[in-house]
Amino acid sequence: MRLEGCNATSNKAKLGGGVLHVGSSSSSSSSSSSSDASAGTHRAVDRLELHGSALGVNDACFGGAVSVAGAVGLLAARNTSFSYNNAYRYGHCAVASEWAGEGGAVGVYAQAPGAGGALWVGGSVGSLELLAGASAEMNFATAAGSFASITGDVGSIDVDGANMQANCYRLLTSGEGAVYTGGSVGEARFRDSSVLAHFGGVLYALGDISSVVIANSSLSNGTFPALSSAGRVGSVVVTNGSTVSYNNAGYLLLVGGGGLLMAAGDVGSIIITNGSTVDGNRALGELGTGGAVYVGGRLGHMEVSGGSSLSGNRARGNGGAVAASSMGSLVVTAGSILRGNVAGDSSEIELDEYRFAGYTPARGGAVYVNATLERVEVTHGSRLEGNQAGEGGGAVFARLLKQLELRSAAVVNNSADKGGGGGIMSSGYDHEVSWGTGGQGSGASRQRRCCTRQSLQFCVGWVGMQLQLPPFVALSLQRSMRYRR
């Protein structure tokens, strides 16, 4: 199925698809087809391609422009615009008894009303592609997916040379992504693209996300996390000069975090590299945790490398930039910097007519780990600079830090306003610390190992830097890292 050179505007539907709806041809569809449709497993369309078209100002109950009652193999748009399409939940939808004749079963539409400002698919999608010259701007929804809502799994998402801007939710407390999937996502790739969100993030998955690559792209100015998963995330790579900035997670909510990523489960790795920046993101909720990254489970590897920056992120709770339940390794290398991140943000924030103010004592100005942090490595001209925490760990806080390595690096001008560890703080035991002044590739010219159970209080003094690692009785925090007063 292909739409080419099509101008479709100002169309309306009481059910799905202001411009186009694909479902069963009549209410006399077989019972087996109805069963498949309700599960979203039957292939309604092998390929749905839009080339050189414009779909705008269309209204429907779901899928403001296009809706498909079943699975789609390939859904692709090139040089095509989706703009000002609307999916309304209230006052525009047919009653449930009218739905059966449109798609073979009522079940496939159970969560449809208000979903998918421009596109809605009642099943899985093999590949969703927005390619060169495609744009999705100012599409609106009152439920999941301000641009596209897909009830099943998505094999891959490609946004390549495209523009997504200001796709919004009519209900301000919703944040289920410009693209929403009720299942898992295989790969998501953003290349040479600009994504500016208003009310809502960029991608929200109820299942796992295998991998995300953001290359030479910008994901900025959202009021929810750019990437969200209610499950696990394999890897996130921000590379080739990309920016993820000024996303305000937890907008109008008590809790929330992760301007770049919010994941309920484990995350394999997050790498910010090749001159990329993740900056100015905020966790605004009263208990907001992790201004740029929130991981409810274990974060295997966090890396900032290749002259990249994780800076100016803020949280009203713990972890100005990053918060995780536990972490394998934190690596800052190759001239990269963690600068000006703040936990316990006391600044007043004003968004539209809403104002946020107040102060929450918190730990880990840049990075907060609620349990064990296996290793911290800052090397090769990298810096932890000017980070601030309301309590302990001006730059980094972990309940148990096992290994710390500083080599040709600087930890300067960090502060813990009311606690220990202006630079780095651990409340646990059995540490190993090494540091040196050797240049890149030359090895350490001076090295010492310390921080056993017997020598924990003051273990590092290096080029005017002090790291204090005293035992500390921490406030009780749950695994979800919600702050308890």
Tens of pLDDT along 284-294? 876 788 999 99
Mean pLDDT, rounded, for 445-457: 32
Higher pLDDT, 23 or 235: 235
Residue 44, pLDDT above cutoff 80: yes
Tens of pLDDT along 79-104? 999 999 998 854 556 544 454 444 44
Mean pLDDT, rounded, for 172-193: 86
Tell me the average pLDDT of the chain. Answer: 79
Residue 342, pLDDT above cutoff 50: yes
Mean pLDDT, rounded, for 230-259: 85
Higher pLDDT, 46 or 431: 46
Which pLDDT belongs to residue 248?
Answer: 85
Residue 463, pLDDT above cutoff 50: no
Residue 485, pLDDT above cutoff 60: no
What's the pLDDT band for 301 if we cut at 50, 70, 90? very high
Which pLDDT belongs to residue 361?
Answer: 65
Which pLDDT belongs to residue 198?
Answer: 62
Which pLDDT belongs to residue 434?
Answer: 56
Mean pLDDT, rounded, for 431-439: 50
Mean pLDDT, rounded, for 428-435: 56
Count of Cβ atoms closer than 10 Å to residue 274 Cβ: 18
Residue 269, pLDDT above cutoff 60: yes
| pTM (whole model) above 0.85 | no
Across 35-39, 56-60, 215-219, least confident range: 35-39
Across 24-33, 229-238, 370-379, 433-442, least confident range: 24-33
Highest mean pLDDT out of 93-107, 120-134, 158-172: 120-134
What's the pLDDT band for 171 if we cut at 50, 70, 90? low
